[in-house]
Structure 1
């Protein structure tokens, strides 16, 4: 900041400084002839005027302090400038100005004592006033800030601001509140996950420009998400579409509006959206997906918005195809499972579902996971009753929690309940005890797919269509293996 000065403006003071005494003597004689000393005071007044300074509380500390010496030949001969603590500000004094070494500060009260004289008349006058420099409106909050989810930035000052504008690569629209202390800035365009340097330029309520304030404004990170089923083929008609968002959404109730689900030829697929948890959204098509169709699901990148304000960086798309209309029915009373395709029973199996104390769950489900082999463990922990671990269980197809279709080589009692809740099926894989067993589990594994609907019912209908190639129920073993699944 440049040093401030106290300037004295006097009428003719510089023009007559060299011969003021001669002129003064002549004027004195003339005035005395005119009317004595009173006449001289009338024609040649003397003193100090500081009309714009006395009591002022909004003085700009960067502009000169104007002190007017009244009268011909008046000069400045003494100045004392003290801050509110009483400290004297040192400087250099000349006939017309006092230049102090320490700049005046914003928001500080000062006392100014100035003396002028007119030597050729032996006149002196001293005057003392107090004034305050304008206070800089103080911005509340830290230098590092983040945009709100709606791309806004709230600013609050401790006193009114007359004018506010921003400079930098992050453009804003500015809306002042009625009190002119609070402002709402809205970013017009920005890159995500970036920090911008923003300079605030403003004036006081009285129009005095003050030093700018520098802020570091961070923009939100992009929203991340994953969509299921992409790139898969021959899916079952009951498999849902799931979108998993990496961050919580601010507009989660509107997300369904931003997702388009349709067939390859553009026909919309109606369905139901449901939040499974705070991050996972599920779409279930009404009545299932259309069979043997190409499906596309896409999410508008500008639609979902995280609670931090982030959006997707690019469209989220899933392309997949469905297979034929397949479903699996399980009847607990007859211990039969039916494979149905396009409304026709293509194969019927004798199975072993859960025993009375470990029943198989009933209801409508779909195959959600498939494994050629799987290690299965009981819910009981080691040392507890019912604990077991069975490795290399073949052809596991899970349809609800830990309930699955799978091959069972440890018993041959199909057609009778024998499991811990799963649907046991005959298999030759790893089956050393009954090597000639039919490969029902393998057949179902090859025929089915992810998303194939599964219905487990307590009772079979009165008349059930049975395929001619039904696998007959084997003669139950005398003692079914205790480690059935």
Structure 2
């Protein structure tokens, strides 16, 4: 009898199985939340008595009773832990079974950093995640090549063929390492602004031979030491102009021609598109292509001992003037310079404030030509004592403009203004040398620019 009963039980188990099949399996840690939940009764006459799905924390997601089959067709949340409790029963065999299963859906990797990104100087953006990522695909107008690292937690996106100074909306489509599609996210990738360059001598005419060429960039360049090599400076016949490159501050590149610019020449300055790249990665889009022209070989010599000034053109003295330079306590600077700024009329004022010793304001100073810091040639209508020191450092010259006291005064300052130009070399000496000559001032960093300082005393 016992053997017969055991055989009957075994037969029933084989012919009439009882239980349930669930998805996902108990203990799953990377369940696909899109596939939902199913509970399938196993065996003839088996039904689901009750089923309940709870999120971690106790919130009921779904519950049902008396079903032939349970299916939750809506997707679950990413990165959640769930508990599934299901009971099946079979009335004719008086069988009942309850199972409690736990599983977790795959989590969404966390992106480090904001959604607004800027291309690095090498035209790339790096995305970093807190866990490995499978497939990653950027979609948008910005052409991006994807290169993951070995851990697949960092992805380098390299851009090509983009417009500068633009923001590109980019959708990132991605998957887990197990191939589960993740919700796409949006990035806004900004490209660096283009580099612009302003050249001080663009279109200049009748320029003196000593005026340095300066290229002012909109922002600092990445390869500063090589910037000058990108520029070609040639005369109209294609001859390269020799000189020295140097930086003034962070964004101004200066070229000083060796022995000065060739006189009476057209000088062309050029650079290829993309020749200069900024520290942000922007580059010069249009080619640099400009020209300027020089005038005759003109030089100005000032002699402090005789209080005279000589204008020399093409090696010949064309005119000599009596002038008034600085008094002993306010002497005129000596050395080699060039005219860097010119004004038909200028208001000159001291650096001393009103009420302080040495304060002055002089309006309508004619024919001001600055050659070093606040030192200038200019007309002086307030005295007629040329040939002796009388100024606070400038080189005073006779003028008729605004001159009510000496109406017959020669217009020396006006003549020099018409004859000279920007870049004309200036040499100030205590006394004439055996062979008067001048050189180009190379130390541009020591010369103050117009507008940065107040004008000197007349």
Normalised TM-score (structure 2):
0.88
Q: Partner residue of 1:281?
A: 253
Query: Aligned pair 1:55/2:35, yes or no?
Result: no
Q: Partner residue of 1:420?
A: 392
Q: Partner residue of 1:121?
A: 93
User: Structure 1, residues 238-275: CA drift from partner, whole Å, max 9, x if none?
Assistant: 01111222333333333213322222233222222222
Indicate the larger mover: 118-127 or 270-279.
118-127
Unaligned runs of 5+ in 1: 1-31, 466-482
Distance 1:299 1:64, change over 3 A: same
Q: Partner residue of 1:341?
A: 313
Q: Partner residue of 2:445?
A: none
Unaligned runs of 5+ in 2: 438-455
Task: Report the CA distance between 1:370 and its aligned residue.
Answer: 1.4
Distance 1:101 1:310, change over 3 A: same
Q: Partner residue of 1:265?
A: 237
Indicate the larger mover: 256-265 or 284-293.
256-265
Q: Residue 457 of structure 1: which of 418, 426, 429 is its match? A: 429
Task: State how far apart, in whole Å, the 2-side matches of 1:207 and 1:463 are.
Answer: 87
Q: Residue 194 of structure 2: which of 222, 233, 240 is its match? A: 222
CA contact (8 A) 2:47 2:69 kept: no
Task: State how far apart, in whole Å, the 1-side matches of 2:69 and 2:231 are.
Answer: 75
User: Structure 1, residues 182-226: CA drift from partner, whole Å, max 9, x if none?
Assistant: 111111122222221111111112221111111122222333331
Q: Residue 351 of structure 1: which of 298, 305, 323 is its match? A: 323
Query: Aligned pair 1:329/2:326, yes or no?
Result: no
Q: Partner residue of 2:264?
A: 292
CA contact (8 A) 1:91 1:101 kept: no
Task: State how far apart, in whole Å, the 2-side matches of 1:387 and 1:436 are.
Answer: 30
User: Structure 1, residues 312-361: CA drift from partner, whole Å, max 9, x if none?
Assistant: 34233332100111111112122221111112222222221111100001
Task: State how far apart, in whole Å, the 2-side matches of 1:163 and 1:93 are.
Answer: 41
CA contact (8 A) 1:373 1:392 kept: yes
Q: Partner residue of 1:409?
A: 381
CA contact (8 A) 2:78 2:107 kept: yes
User: Structure 1, residues 221-240: CA drift from partner, whole Å, max 9, x if none?
Assistant: 33333111112211001011
Structure 1 counterpart SS, 2:226: helix
Query: Aligned pair 1:317/2:289, yes or no?
Result: yes
CA contact (8 A) 2:39 2:71 kept: no
Q: Partner residue of 1:240?
A: 212
Q: What aligned pairs does 1:378-389 form with structure 2 within 5 A after superposition? A: 378-389=350-361
Task: State how far apart, in whole Å, the 1-side matches of 2:109 and 2:88 are.
Answer: 36
Indicate the larger mover: 167-176 or 341-350.
341-350
Q: Partner residue of 1:144?
A: 116
Task: State how far apart, in whole Å, the 1-side matches of 2:436 and 2:232 are.
Answer: 40
CA contact (8 A) 2:30 2:105 kept: yes
Indicate the larger mover: 140-149 or 416-425.
140-149
Distance 1:250 1:96, change over 3 A: farther
Task: State how far apart, in whole Å, the 2-side matches of 1:213 and 1:143 are.
Answer: 9
Q: Number of residue pairs matched?
A: 438
Task: State how far apart, in whole Å, the 1-side matches of 2:435 and 2:139 are.
Answer: 80
CA contact (8 A) 1:160 1:179 kept: yes
Q: Partner residue of 1:104?
A: 76
Structure 2 counterpart SS, 1:441: helix
Q: Partner residue of 2:367?
A: 395
Task: Report the CA distance between 1:413 and its aligned residue.
Answer: 2.3
Task: State how far apart, in whole Å, the 1-side matches of 2:86 and 2:70 are.
Answer: 10
Query: Aligned pair 1:81/2:53, yes or no?
Result: yes
CA contact (8 A) 2:205 2:293 kept: yes
- Of structures 1 and 2, the larger Rg is shown by 1
CA contact (8 A) 1:89 1:100 kept: no
Task: State how far apart, in whole Å, the 1-side matches of 2:23 and 2:369 are.
Answer: 95
Q: Partner residue of 1:17?
A: none
Task: Report the CA distance between 1:33 and its aligned residue.
Answer: 10
Task: State how far apart, in whole Å, the 2-side matches of 1:222 and 1:331 are.
Answer: 49
CA contact (8 A) 1:115 1:124 kept: yes
Indicate the larger mover: 175-184 or 53-62.
175-184
CA contact (8 A) 1:411 1:484 kept: no
Task: Report the CA distance between 1:451 and its aligned residue.
Answer: 0.5
Indicate the larger mover: 420-429 or 88-97.
88-97
Query: Aligned pair 1:370/2:342, yes or no?
Result: yes
RMSD: 2.6
Task: State how far apart, in whole Å, the 1-side matches of 2:239 and 2:68 are.
Answer: 89
CA contact (8 A) 1:227 1:317 kept: no
Distance 1:484 1:436, change over 3 A: farther
Task: State how far apart, in whole Å, the 2-side matches of 1:377 and 1:87 are.
Answer: 81
Task: State how far apart, in whole Å, the 2-side matches of 1:161 and 1:276 are.
Answer: 48
Task: Report the CA distance between 1:307 and its aligned residue.
Answer: 3.3
